Each structure stands twice: as C-alpha cells, then as structure tokens.
Amino acid sequence: MSKLVFRVHAIQKMFERSINRDDVRAVIESGEIIREYPDDTPFPSRLILGWRNERPLHVVAADNEVDDEIIIITAYEPDSAIWEPDFKKKKEQDS
C-alpha cells in the first residue's frame, strides 16, 4: 500500500473525533469509494466509507501517484441527520 501522509488539518480533526491512524488505514484498505473528485488540485481525491466495529467513518484522501502517497485530507464520523442510513449519500434537503 502507498505511504499515508496526514495533513495537519486531518490530524487535528482526527484527534478531536477520536479517530486514529489505524482507523484511517482500515478505511483506506477495505472501505468503499462513494464519491470521486477527479478535478481536485493538486491531486484527485475521493470520499471513502468504511466501518470500524459498528462506527461508520468517512475519509477524504488524495492520490499523489508520482510519490506513491495517499494524502489524508480529513476523517470524520458521518452525521445521520445529514446522510442516508447507509452513509453513502446525503439526504435530500427540504426547500
């Protein structure tokens, strides 16, 4: 697997949310890509859904293929008030 590189923002948010590096690695290795952002710069990124025990986690990661790195942008537990029950799609917002 590529080397994981954690942005400062990601580390801060992971600490606040009690998400550790092993959680992130597990999501990257076995999670499901639920959204892709091919136009993100400087590298294309993706939103990955994974589970740690019963806890759903979203990880936003970018791929630096030149340096064989996966850059972790952020990680969070999706809010059931915002996301559908499977945590793969955001709920429709009432107008």
CATH number of the domain that 17 lies in? 3.30.2310
Range of the domain at 41: 3-76
In a domain, 62, yes or no: yes
Note the pTM of the prediction, 2 decimals.
0.92
- Other beta carbons within 10 angstroms of residue 50's beta carbon come to 21
**C-alpha distances in Å from residue 31, one per residue of 46, 51, 58, 63:** 11, 7, 9, 15
What band does 1 get if pLDDT is binned at 50, 70 and 90?
A: low
Round to the nearest angstrom and report the end-to-end CA distance of the chain: 44
In a domain, 81, yes or no: no
In a domain, 72, yes or no: yes
In a domain, 94, yes or no: no
Mean pLDDT of 9-31: 97
Beta pairing class for 69-76 and 3-6: parallel
Mean pLDDT of 28-56: 96
Give the mean pLDDT of the chain.
94
pLDDT for 93: 72
The percentage of the chain sitting over the pLDDT mark of 70, rounded to a whole number, equals 97
In a domain, 36, yes or no: yes
Mean pLDDT of 1-5: 87
Number of domains in the chain: 1
